[in-house]
Amino acid sequence: MPNILLSVKNAKKTYKGDVTALAGVNLEIHNNEIIAILGSSGAGKSTLIKSILGLVKLDTGKIFFKNNALLGKNFSRLRSSISTIYQNFNLVSRSSVLSNILHGKVSKVSSWRILFNIWPKADQYKAVSLLEEVGLKGMNYNKRVENLSGGQQQRIGIARALIVSPEIILADEPVSSLDPETAKEILKLLKDTAKKNKISILCSLHQVEFAKLFADRVVGMSNGKIIFDKSSKKLFKSDLNKIYK
Ligand code: ADP
- Residue 6: is its pLDDT beyond 80? yes
Nearest CA to ligand 1 atom 5: 44
Q: What is the pTM of this model?
A: 0.95
Residue 5: the pLDDT is: 97
- Rounded to the nearest angstrom, the distance between the alpha carbon of 161 and the centre of ligand 1 is 25
150 lines ligand 1 (CB under 6 A): no
- Rounded to the nearest angstrom, the distance between the alpha carbon of 204 and the centre of ligand 1 is 14
Summary mean pLDDT of the chain: 95
Per-residue pLDDT band for 2 (boundaries 50, 70, 90) equals: low
Q: Give the span between the Cα atoms of 30 and 161, in whole angstroms.
A: 19
179 Rama class: left (phi>0) / alpha (psi -120 to 50) / beta:
beta
Give first-to-last CA distance, the chain, whole Å: 34
CB 22 within 8 A of CB 51: yes
Q: Give the span between the Cα atoms of 197 and 151, in whole angstroms.
A: 21
- Rounded to the nearest angstrom, the distance between the alpha carbon of 90 and the centre of ligand 1 is 20
- Rounded to the nearest angstrom, the distance between the alpha carbon of 186 and the centre of ligand 1 is 26
Residue to substitute in 19, 52, 223, 244 for testing ligand 1 pocket (most ligand atoms within 8 angstroms of CB): 19
130 lines ligand 1 (CB under 6 A): no
- Rounded to the nearest angstrom, the distance between the alpha carbon of 218 and the centre of ligand 1 is 20
Q: Tell me: the pLDDT tens digits for 66-110? A: 999 999 889 988 989 999 999 999 999 999 999 999 999 887 777
DSSP per position, 71-140:
-GGGHHHHHTTEEEE-TT----TTSBHHHHHHGGGGGGS-HHHHHHT---HHHHHHHHHHHHHTT-TT--
Per-residue pLDDT band for 1 (boundaries 50, 70, 90) equals: low
Q: Tell me: the pLDDT tens digits for 113-150? A: 777 778 889 999 999 999 999 999 999 999 999 999 99
Task: Give the number of the atom of ligand 1 that is nearest the alpha carbon of residue 40.
Answer: 3
CB 128 within 8 A of CB 188: no
Nearest residue to 13 (alpha-carbon basis) of 52, 42, 51, 68: 51
